Amino acid sequence: MTIASTETKVIYGGNGSTATFAVPFMFLRNEDIEVVLVDAEDGEYLQSEGTDYQLAGAGEQTGGTCVMTAVPEPGQTLVIRREPAMVQEVDYVENDAFPAATHEAALDKLTMICQALAEKLDRAVTFRISSAVTGVNMPEPRVGRLIGWTGEAGDLGNYAVSDLGAVVTPVAVHLGGTGADNPTEALFNLGFGGAGLTVAGCDEPAEVLETMGAEPADPDILRADTPDVLQALFGSSLHVHTGTDLLSLNVTKNHIKWALTGDSTFNDMSFGAGYALQNGWTGTLVFHVYPNGHELSLATALKLAPGVPDPDPAATEIRVVLEIFQGRQTVVSLENVE
């Protein structure tokens, strides 16, 4: 037979009801299977055949089943893996007939051994393919020691934490720490001050308000103020302008609607009573120009931000953003809206 699958280990999570688990790979003998139960604290316990579990299906191409005596509980993990003994048990007698089945069984076992070794190597820490490092040895385990590279970085050794330069605590604020070993001092060092310390000690929002002597916002007051706030920010309506230039425009609002009736010029403008004198006012105006097929020329006195395109008479709307700063008028953007 052939070994067509490279699978050599399977892992199941316990659910408190399932006791029978598939072994989805071929194994020649029951002794070749190792069963490990991992508890919720990650403790691994090797199970014993006949006591902790029963196996069926040895020698079957499709594998077999493992029946646990005790059902694995939620939080537990069951690991079933193939671990054949690394021995060669086939003895060929000189001048005897060549037993094909026996020879193939020996090859199958060698393949299973190789797969078991590959599974272990997959869990090992290795150097990358391009590394030229060889002969690195791990030191013997020692309690309270850390593993690190030796002086020549060619081997590993055990080191005491003090030998590596322990991190001094508390870590200073400028190094990313709090500079403190207790919450109160930490909050103070991070700039929260007395008020921050007081608020940090509160468990509920109501307690925060009471501690600070504050009152919750009144939703009715907020709703009543909303129209005035929006009008102050965005205005309540457009300023409508007519004509073929802006010489007659008396600016009173930030948004201006201008429908062209002929070829027109976008030039300087004056300001209404609601605004300060032109040279003393700073702000941004948005022009919504509807060309209706007419040309719109930008006055040479205007400053243009880099990349501002020419107005397109075929556009549905030409949206111009004009910035006024210290008497200088600059077209910061122009968009031909289709």
338 residues of the chain, pLDDT tens digit each: 678 889 999 999 999 999 999 999 999 999 999 999 999 999 999 999 999 999 999 999 899 999 999 999 999 999 999 999 999 888 888 888 888 888 888 898 999 999 999 999 989 888 899 998 888 888 898 888 888 888 777 788 888 876 666 566 777 777 778 888 887 777 777 777 666 777 777 778 777 777 777 776 777 776 666 656 655 555 556 788 888 888 877 777 788 889 999 999 998 766 654 454 444 566 788 899 999 999 999 988 888 989 899 999 999 999 999 888 777 788 999 999 98
Residue 23: predicted pLDDT: 97
Residue 162: predicted pLDDT: 66
Name the 3-class secondary structure at 189.
helix
- In terms of pTM, does the model score above 0.85? no
DSSP, residue by residue, 62-118? T-EEEEESSPPPTT-EEEEEE---------PPTTS---HHHHHHHHHHHHHHHHHHH
Q: Going along 232-302, which residue ranges are E strands?
A: 239-241, 250-251, 255-259, 264-266, 270-271, 283-290, 296-298
Residue 274: predicted pLDDT: 47
Residue type, 313: P
Q: Which structure tokens are listed for 92? A: 């060929």
Residue spans per domain, the chain: 1-90+98-124, 164-216, 239-337
Give the separation between CA 188 and CA 223, rounded to whole angstroms.
37
Residue 68: predicted pLDDT: 98
Phi, then psi, of 295 in degrees rounded to 5: -75, 145
Residue 30: predicted pLDDT: 96
Element (H, E) at 234: helix 219-234
Give the separation between CA 333 and CA 217, rounded to whole angstroms.
40
